Structure 1
Amino acid sequence: MTKKMSSRVKTLSPSTTLAITAKAKEMKESGIDVIGLGAGEPDYNTPDNILEAAYRSMIEGKTKYTPAGGLPALKDAIIHKLQKDQGLNYTRKEVMIGIGAKHVLYTLFQVMLDPGDEVIIPAPYWVSYPEQVKLAGGVPVHIEGSSAAQFKVTAEQIREAVTPRTKAIIINSPSNPTGMIYSREELVQIAEVCKEKDIWIVSDEIYEKLIYGEEQHISIAQLSDDAKQRTLIINGVSKSYSMTGWRIGYIAGNVEVVSAMTDLASHSTSNPTTTSQYATIEAYNGPQDTVETMRKDFESRLEQVYPQFVAIPGFKVLKPQGAFYLLPDVSEAAKNTGFANVDDFAAALLTKANVAVIPGSGFGSPDTIRLSYATSIDLLEEAIRRIRTFVEENWKA
């Protein structure tokens, strides 16, 4: 029996990140020594105090349903975190916990968008933003942040992109895949345009704790009362606490939006995993020293490997300010090693050099590849050696 699939799923592009990661895993399982620089997750285990809190909750019988929008105690922990870190005040009704920040974003677009509504998405962008907008019947509108502008977009670009159908803009700072951070001054200008045009701001702050040098994380919601009212903060524990598999994220913002999202979750996923919620309470309320230890380690790795990537022929690399990614422009390397495009070059790095990287085409940046340095320094340096050898041995110029 043949049945037609819905028109929604026909528009989807598969996740480039997950596809490459799966291919690399398959090669490893067949005995090939592949070094993966694709996965967007820390290589640390979840801190012991969080593991112990999760175990304790299970032993105490805390394994039943919770409210669809999350445990009140977890909402309180998030409210305290936002007040302490950003000076922002929220109530329980303005917070909803979901099954990872990805699920929270998906649910947000489902309740926010009607067919034809537009969402401005600066490029390079995280691969799931446009797909989630399309699944909600919306239209992704891409504006390019050039390498000359550190991959960031300007307030004027946003103003020019707004139409009567524009519902929101997504701001991701620090950014996946670029690692770049919007300054306070840049965010002030963006907030003014959003006020002028009366659009929502979806502020993805999942990498806020992973910032290097003298840079600081500023939430756009901090800038004014108006900015706070129109900003929907998305965050979670996946990156900062190395809890990617625990699947806990949250939204903080407008009561009506959060209430609608909670209602939708009650009919789709019920509550986030109870054990993960108790683990997250400990993550936010417990000691924070492991967060800083991990951040310092990532910064140290960046300082060691950045100049080595810059030295690879045909690689043009901006130094990131946060997260744990590099996004080099490798179009020259691809051309001079005989490849028609960067996607083919990235595929050859996997099959010929045994290094898994993510083609930038999935991020709206087809001349680049994304490299994660959330792995050991020994593996990173071996990966660089393999990439450099592959490029130099195949260079045709």
Structure 2
Amino acid sequence: MQNFVFQNATKIIFGKDTESMVGKEVQAFTTKVLLHYGSGSIKKSGLYGRVCASLKEAGVAWIELSGVQPNPRLSLVQKGIELCRKEQIGFILAVGGGSTIDSAKAIAVGVPYQGNVWDFFERKADITQALPLGVVLTIPAAGSESSNSAVVTKEEGWYKKDIGSELIRPKFAIMNPALTLTLSVEQTMIGIADIIAHMTERYFTQVPNVEMTDRLLEANIKTVMHNAYILYADPQNYDARAEIMWAGTLAHNDLLSTGRIGDWASHMIEHELSGIYDVAHGAGLATVIPAWMQYVYKENINKFAQFANRVFDVEPDFDAPHLTALEGIKRFKQFYHSLGLPVSLKELGVPEDRLEEMAAKCTAKGPVGNFKKLSKQDVVNIYKLAR
């Protein structure tokens, strides 16, 4: 286990009707906010009205910026930066899922910065200031509600890149599982794939003696899988929704990263799929990760055999642990397939004519991943395995 410092300052407010507390939480920071959200589904559900009523009761004024898309766009971020400067906004309230939160985070770092906010994504500048932000979560998936990272897509060239800083970790996250009852089964399962990906990226490490976080990751993955099956059959099950929502936060709030070095190659490989083809991030990960596993498992067969045994109950073959590992990968892929998720580029609707281009963009600054350093050709090979 490696040395580590763990700190997560996000205040979690969890449970039914908790969105009514948003005004009081915002009031502690400011009396004027940017209310940031997506296409308007929060208005149809009535959440928008409840949030506005709570803000009004607390004496908080707001300026609105809607229009966040899945794989949030740089152009809207830039619009938000201009709006916050013009209106002298000091706090951002994101109401939605990971895309809305990530867009809000990008706006937050862009407002006090005199250059182009994309500089942070290209590592041309360090984040030293950011507006504070809070969250009302509606889609459990990205874990952005208490993470220190964000991902945005630049339309020019369709580059999808990330930033990370403690300054963009939300001050609070209001999490009412009942708000997720309106999600379709497909949306729910795509979110679940995203949650599991955050854990497998952490799980497959070459750092030895991380038993504590291994066990936490295994338990959280199994919990998500169990409740995924419940929601696939009964999407209105509040208790299963609650388990998934809390698991999604734990998957990406850095607790499960302590003492270990995660891989994250699969995320970078998938970013090229969703950046160019605008596929749902979780669906892309469901396709990429089993292919990545198949490509790299020989780098640490025992780790994959452990995963197969503890998560998928594969009987260990001590004489041939590679067979245990391969069976685990097979069952993992079958799990995604059983939830109606794509497990190939063909099912995802991604053609094969731009694999080289995507791999080149993915590795433009050098090899990716930590479990195994992947070159451009390695990434091409993984895309081909995912066909």
Q: Same fold (TM over 0.5)?
A: no
TM (norm. structure 2) is: 0.32
1 or 2 for the larger relative contact order (CA 8 Å, sep ≥6)? Answer: 1
> TM-score, normalized by length of structure 1?
0.31
The structure with the largest helix share of the pair is 2
